[in-house]
Structure 1
Amino acid sequence: MSEISPEEVARRRQSLQERVGPWRPRTLTAAFDDAAAAFGDRPYAISDAATLTYADVVARSRRLAAGLIDLGVRPGDRVAMLVDNRVDYPVLKFAIARTGAIAVALNYSYRGDEIIQRLAHAEASVLLSIDRSAATDFLAVFDERFAGWEAGVTSTEVPSLRTIVLVEDGWRDGAVTVPQLAQRGDEAAVDAASAAIAADDVADIVFTSGTTGHALGAQLTHDMLLRSGYGSAYHRAFDDGWRIGFALPLYHVFGYIEGMLAAMFVGGAIVPQRVFNPRTTLEQIERFRINEVLFVPTMTVAVVDQAAKLRPDLSSLQSVFSAAAPAPVWLWERVMTDLAPQMIFTGYGQTEVSAATALTLPGDSIQTVSAVVGAMKLGGVAADGSGRLAEYRTVDPFDGHPLPDGAEGELVVRGPQVTREYVGANAPQALDADGWLRTGDLGFVDDEGYIHLRGRSKELFKVGGELVAPTEVEQVLSGADGVSQAYVAGIPDERYGEVGWAWVVMNEDAAPDERALLAHARARLAPFKVPRGFTFLSVDELPMTTTGKIQKYLLAASHAPAR
């Protein structure tokens, strides 16, 4: 393995800046059309079944936009998407953007009630949908909740919804489909609609992952999304034609911005997987000459295990970006040994901040990448005078007053890629009077500008009046022999109010040993921090969002195991 040189990083960043020139606030489709003018014949979206070039995406998205306008979609309308990681996903997304409507991409693992709630919350007027996912038969949901939907929707549950459009023909007789819409309308109407869109208009409503059980819809503008995507390409030193592979869902900002939008700034391509499979990931790296892969740590573990067995040709792979949850040193060591990239990255961000606002730097050591979640993201020409796209500091998690530099507290962020507001009449205020967003994450910014996380402010619990940060306990437990992952949450207790409970995943070759783990914790933690008990489970049993974040509220809800 050879690390990338500082000179090569500088060359790539300079090349990117020269191609883009001074930052011009634009719409998503204006930026993509500029990329297509330069890279029209290059692949943009690649799958085993098909490849779409930049020119293909422009032509198809324009035709579909004309059909959507003919259907009645107008600027500011909300068009929801229940769509998996198919190769034509960018066509749908850019078609919506061309009309001036707002895309509302939904989690395709949602069940019926969740779909209805999100559609109503977003006040969606049109829904673009596949027929089913591994989790849900969407057509059955529509039949149950919107009887006769094929001819139009009238619903008291979602009064705003007018039309459901299926992504493919043949799934349901009489239903409106994307191929049908692509034959309707006049592209002159698309030009007129696009000309009226401003860079500061809302382009997407993206729902948070739901790690607390209460998802919010963040409103992200065209310019926020583009600044974030450009900044990621600049910070991670994309080379010309950079290809990014991932199974992360495109409805979430990680795959959407860090993959789909970032790639277009260098005439690159995305290789999205519909379903994560580590063997497929490795085969696609080899077949499509992928330069970077986007993972969450559970994916990273599975891929390095397969790579050690298969020994594929990974000579094209230059970068591994694994984020959304902490990854230990041993995992990064496996990445370097079994995948041999030139660069490794972890990062930090939220839906509300248009994906990553912090990333480790090219050339950072394994120890650094495993200990921090990044330094504030470089923005190149998309940043302000500081050169960065976000600014972090800490505040007291209880009363919100600012803390001194370097002090541990709740992280707050502001910058050009931070949402201005959530959707919905009863949504909380996103920003304070000075433009700061409270992240809900505990941590601090060190003297070198790296962000260290210490857990979630809402996850703090008190044992007999003593405050416990779950992340501290998790770090101790993760250092015990045989432990792969550990998660801690507070549970109700009659005597102490709350006590800690731990959910532990052991390595494949290690047997659960509660006594040994308890002794390990007692030797390293104050008594009130030691978990009251342990639940041992497999990785598959962890309640997890599709972006790899653990839903601790579900762990806590199941805290009474048989003992």
Structure 2
Amino acid sequence: METNLVTLLRTHATQKPQSPCLTFGTETLSFGDVDARASRVARALAASDIQSGDRVAIVARNTSVHFELFFGCAKSGVIFVPINWRLSAREIADIVADASPSLLFIEDEFQTLLSLDMPHQARTLLSHYPTWRDSAPPDDADHTPSPNCPLLLLYTSGTTGTPKGVVLSHGNLSYLARMAHELWDMSNHSVNLVASPLFHIGGIGYAMTCMSQGGHTVLMQQVVPRDIVAAIRDQKVTHGFFVPTVIQMLLDLPEVAEIDLSSLNRIAYGAAPIGEAVLKRAIEIFGCGFMHTYGMTETAGTVVMLAPEEHEPDGPYANRLRSCGRPMPWNELMLVNPATENPVAVGEVGEIRIRSKANMLGYWNKPEETARAITADGWLRTGDAAYRDEDGFIYLHDRYKDMIVSGAENIYPTEIENVLYQHPDVTQVAVIGVPHERWGETPKAFVVVRNGRHPSESELIAFTRAQLAHYKCPTSVAFVTQLPMNASGKILKKEMRNPEWLKENACP
């Protein structure tokens, strides 16, 4: 297995220079094209006196430029920093101040960022990028980075606090190639659709799977359901990754059952809970294998997977649809009681700890945070609560910090959410703990209903009481038009605690 992505690109560019590598809009770049453009970027970086270890950042919607910069930085030993364009100007400025890039490309629409008070660096509009790139020759700089050379700096989604910069090396990211080949049935004949934002590991990291195999990547600028199904049909897409909310949007298209989606081999999903009813319908409509993936930026993506053959909605192991699967062969996983640091028994809830060569190098400029996240013997503390069954399948409960303590009982919101997802009128749900005079906290459910149907609060509470202990059930329900989510599809539960958010999003 190659331990750097530069060698992978060079190999494909040499062996199959005319084969399609990347389609974006009306333009398709071959592996030879991407390699040549990356070499120009590397030469242009050198001409700008940007050296190994420096950072180059971009604030832009998905574009093929991301990949040219990514591989160009890889050829130079430079660290690539794609930044979330959906953040506020102040949040972007904070990230730029932390990463301190030597060069920052900004999509023209966001040109107000040029005047922000940020540390000195060269800033240029994305429309000037082609001229900058083409000012340099396409000669390969012939730099081969080591496995430990940092390549990617991704800022976490910030669902629970200030975003932290996760540093990923060539060696960390090389496991995406192994995953694609050994577990995801990807080859040089695969066509992979990427719709997730490239500032997220589920975007740029996922894109590296098919690219690493010499396959064809179809990049979408953003999630537009009709454009996605059209791309699957027209480009004969074989693979895709979607968060559950996007899968729901695709299923809601009236014409989806009539479109030819027979090219699909498998669809991966993750990043947020999915209702079993939604998953069953998706399996029926798309007619391909489905994979549940669990991972995080700090693990360079997926570390646990529920394989297609383990998706049996009506089989003897249908309960496994609630699990996220089993660890991939190169990852170690244990469940630990964070209070005692002792492993928990089968069936008991503990914090997921991961030890893997795919684990991040650390948090950028935050040695204390890194030390808190990674133990001395290499275990990453994920903060996620789960239990393991006798067959080794992992069942997520929740983030430990989202756990509700009601009286003396611990309540995991995901357990309540999974039950409410089974109600036919519920399309989305999230549960948080709210203050209670007697019990300290009590669960409150935020619900998005399906197609305007509107069950009552008492009906939904009674629905949960038929399946859960009463102390676990919500004592109140808020009906909302949407749930607050970040770009990676994760629900921002901290926003739900804001009365102004609820006022703006409450159902009329």
CA distance in 2, matches of 1:205, 1:218: 5
CA distance in 1, matches of 2:347, 2:359: 22
Cα distance, 1:526–1:35 mapped onto 2, change above 3 Å: same
Instruction: Tell whether 2:380 aligns with 1:434.
Output: no
1:418 is matched by which residue type in structure 2? N
Residues 462-471 or 401-410, more deviating: 401-410
Cα distance, 1:392–1:559 mapped onto 2, change above 3 Å: farther
Deviations 1:226-254 (A, max 9, x none): 11233133201113321111311111111
How many residues are aligned here?
Answer: 497
CA distance in 1, matches of 2:84, 2:184: 27
| 3-state secondary structure, aligned to 2:497 | helix
Give the deviation of 1:38 after TM superposition. 2.0
| 3-state secondary structure, aligned to 1:198 | coil
CA distance in 2, matches of 1:221, 1:24: 13
Residues 324-333 or 523-532, more deviating: 523-532
| 3-state secondary structure, aligned to 1:363 | helix
Give the deviation of 1:354 after TM superposition. 0.4
Other-structure match for 2:408 = 465
Q: Is the 8 A contact 1:236 1:362 kept in 2?
A: no
2:178 is matched by which residue type in structure 1? Y
1:449 is matched by which residue type in structure 2? G
Q: 1:191 aligns with which of 132, 138, 141?
A: 141
- State percent identity of aligned pairs: 28
Cα distance, 1:419–1:324 mapped onto 2, change above 3 Å: same
| 3-state secondary structure, aligned to 2:309 | coil
Give the deviation of 1:503 after TM superposition. 0.4
* Higher strand proportion: 2
1:126-137 to structure 2, matched below 5 A, reads 126-132=103-109
1:84-123 to structure 2, matched below 5 A, reads 84-123=61-100
Q: Is the 8 A contact 2:495 2:501 kept in 1?
A: no
| 3-state secondary structure, aligned to 2:94 | helix
Q: 2:309 aligns with which of 363, 366, 385?
A: 363
Give the deviation of 1:129 after TM superposition. 2.0
Q: Is the 8 A contact 2:275 2:422 kept in 1?
A: no
| 3-state secondary structure, aligned to 2:362 | coil
CA distance in 1, matches of 2:214, 2:2: 18
Q: Is the 8 A contact 2:106 2:124 kept in 1?
A: yes
Q: Is the 8 A contact 1:326 1:370 kept in 2?
A: no
Q: 1:411 aligns with which of 349, 352, 356?
A: 352
1:218-297 to structure 2, matched below 5 A, reads 218-258=166-206, 260-297=207-244
2:483 is matched by which residue type in structure 1? L
CA distance in 2, matches of 1:550, 1:205: 23
Other-structure match for 2:125 = 166
Cα distance, 1:403–1:288 mapped onto 2, change above 3 Å: same
Q: 2:388 aligns with which of 445, 461, 465?
A: 445
1:332-347 to structure 2, matched below 5 A, reads 332-341=279-288, 343-347=289-293
Other-structure match for 1:206 = 154
Instruction: Tell whether 2:477 aligns with 1:529.
Output: no
Other-structure match for 1:327 = 274
Q: TM-score, normalised by structure 1?
A: 0.83
Deviations 1:473-528 (A, max 9, x none): 22232233422222111123344332221101112152131111122233443343
Other-structure match for 1:520 = 463
Give the deviation of 1:353 after TM superposition. 0.2
Q: 1:551 aligns with which of 470, 492, 498?
A: 492
Q: 1:46 aligns with which of 5, 17, 23?
A: 23
Give the deviation of 1:472 after TM superposition. 1.6
| 3-state secondary structure, aligned to 2:7 | helix
Q: TM-score, normalised by structure 2?
A: 0.92
- Structure 2 residue runs of 5 or longer lacking an equivalent are none
Deviations 1:434-454 (A, max 9, x none): 110111111123332321101
Deviations 1:30-52 (A, max 9, x none): 22111222221111111332100
Cα distance, 1:496–1:408 mapped onto 2, change above 3 Å: closer
Deviations 1:381-436 (A, max 9, x none): xxxxxxx1211110113343322355321111111101131112465123101110
Other-structure match for 1:351 = 297
| 3-state secondary structure, aligned to 2:134 | coil
Q: Is the 8 A contact 1:51 1:87 kept in 2?
A: no
Other-structure match for 2:114 = 142
CA distance in 2, matches of 1:446, 1:186: 57
Instruction: Tell whether 2:132 aligns with 1:181.
Output: yes
CA distance in 2, matches of 1:561, 1:119: 31
User: Which is bigger in relative contact order (C-alpha 8 A, separation at least 6)?
Assistant: 1
Cα distance, 1:253–1:409 mapped onto 2, change above 3 Å: same
Cα distance, 1:411–1:28 mapped onto 2, change above 3 Å: same
Q: 1:75 aligns with which of 52, 63, 72?
A: 52
| 3-state secondary structure, aligned to 2:75 | helix
Cα distance, 1:449–1:486 mapped onto 2, change above 3 Å: same
CA distance in 2, matches of 1:400, 1:117: 35
1:354 is matched by which residue type in structure 2? A
Q: Is the 8 A contact 2:374 2:380 kept in 1?
A: yes
Cα distance, 1:465–1:445 mapped onto 2, change above 3 Å: closer
CA distance in 2, matches of 1:495, 1:394: 32
CA RMSD of aligned residues (A): 2.2
1:218 is matched by which residue type in structure 2? V
- Structure 1 residue runs of 5 or longer lacking an equivalent are 1-22, 133-137, 147-157, 169-176, 378-387
